[in-house]
Structure 1
Amino acid sequence: MILDLLAPTLDFAGDTDRLNPLRLFLEADIVVQAIMFGLLLASVWVWTIIITFSLRIGGVNRRCGEYERGFWEAENFETFQKQRGRGDVPMGKVAGAGLAEWRRNAQLRTLDPEGARQRIALAMNSSVGEEADLLSNRLNFLATVGSVAPFVGLFGTVWGIMNSFFQIGQQQNSSLAVVAPGISEALFATAIGLFAAIPAVIAYNRFSHRVNMVEGRLQRFADKLHMALTRQLESR
């Protein structure tokens, strides 16, 4: 087995008095091993989300900034939207929803200004909500790991300690040398649970704040566009 081959290499130059995480994993009970392995997988997925989300939110802010600057400088909103509003630009999708509703109201024979204002606002607010939901789609996994992983690790610890006490009964020997290895392996499960949970909680709080900032930026853009479009409708 690959892990069995790697374990001796992690003895830190033959110093067996130092903690060897891999050996703790290999010598643990099968239930504790399964819990550790699951927590390690969760930790890998957490860091994958952290890296990909950081890149994604940075790209979203950059694209929205470029789009917004060009949008307000354009002479014609619809022409600009056709040229630059395509692709993964949340602000472009919000503008597209507002402009589409504006066109539908402008084509009505009898215009109801108040109803038009409400419909345009609802269209853009709905788009803002959809974009915020898409951004935060994978953050629920961070919240789940952050709240559940310590308890999963604790379950592994409890199971390992129960197994250690069982070994005391089997060997009729309560010396610390008998139970210490099993307890160390059990506590290692809690350590891995915390290793997975702490980054998940920090990342969830940070990324939730950044999603809220993007949502607020989209909402402010929608409000400004709503004022511009309703002024055009009322000037007919």
Structure 2
Amino acid sequence: MSGIDLFLNYVQRSSFITIIVLSWLSIYFIISFTILFSRMAGIAAWQKREQNALESLLMGAKNIPNESSLRKCAGSKISREKLNVCISVAEKNATSGLTWLSIIASTSPFIGLFGTVISILETFSQLGNGANSSLGVIAPAISEALVATGAGIFVAIPAYTFNLLIKRKAYELTSTIEREADVLIALKREENEI
């Protein structure tokens, strides 16, 4: 039997709840990868812009470079309070999507377990209706029921990993922006001393 035949045979024997559980987990899986690719690409480009802005400031630029996210909210008068607000906004934007990844990572195993429990209950209910109750009948049914638990764990692991990867990239970005803010405050202090 080919893989497609095995899959179609499994789906044909599965209950409505099991199919819903596997569909739900499939959607979670797709969402996890979508968040990973979109956030990593966005944060990487943003990090590059902020790094360029930081390097410009370190090389002697007197104004906030256009590519810096601090430019949007610092205005003409630079203060630590305004810069802290900018940093907080940047951190919020950089970490978007992490809540969904956390939800997916924490709920996927339970969704899979729910599918397994329902399948096992259906198997035992069919056995109670006078069906053959030998190990040869029970073992394959229980084995098929465990597919949902395996699928839940299979979805949770990448979601948790992606959460950590994006969190780290967001931390690096926020650190770069904080260094920019520190340089701007130092430049302002130097101007005031002159």
Normalising by structure 2, report the TM-score: 0.89
* Distance in 2 between residues matched to 1:150 and 1:9, nearest whole Å: 24
Q: Does residue 97 of structure 1 match 2:73?
A: yes
User: What do the CA deviations read for 1:11-50 (whole angstroms, capped 9, x no partner)?
Assistant: 4xxxxxxxx3443233211011101100011001101111
Aligned 1:6-85 pairs, distance under 5 A: 10-11=4-5, 20-73=6-59, 75-77=61-63, 81=65, 85=66
Please report how far the alpha carbon of residue 229 of structure 1 lies from its aligned counterpart in structure 2 after TM superposition.
Answer: 1.3
Letter in 2 for 1:166: S
* Distance in 1 between residues matched to 2:33 and 2:41, nearest whole Å: 12
Unaligned runs of 5+ in 1: 1-6, 12-19, 103-119
Seen in structure 2, the aligned counterparts of structure 1 residues 29 and 123 have a Cα distance that, compared at 3 Å, is: same
Seen in structure 2, the aligned counterparts of structure 1 residues 228 and 24 have a Cα distance that, compared at 3 Å, is: same
Aligned residue for 1:15? Answer: none
Letter in 1 for 2:4: L
User: What do the CA deviations read for 1:53-93 (whole angstroms, capped 9, x no partner)?
Assistant: 22112111222222222344355416xx4xxx1xxx4xx12
Aligned residue for 2:118? Answer: 159
- Aligned-residue CA RMSD in angstroms? 2.1
* Distance in 2 between residues matched to 1:93 and 1:198, nearest whole Å: 33
Normalising by structure 1, report the TM-score: 0.74
Give the secondary-structure state (helix, strand or coil) at the position aligned to 1:43: helix
Give the secondary-structure state (helix, strand or coil) at the position aligned to 2:178: helix
* Same amino acid, percent of matched pairs: 25
Q: Answer yes or no: is the 8 Å Cα contact 1:163–1:182 preserved in 2.
A: no
Seen in structure 2, the aligned counterparts of structure 1 residues 98 and 229 have a Cα distance that, compared at 3 Å, is: farther
Please report how far the alpha carbon of residue 182 of structure 1 lies from its aligned counterpart in structure 2 after TM superposition.
Answer: 2.8
Unaligned runs of 5+ in 2: none
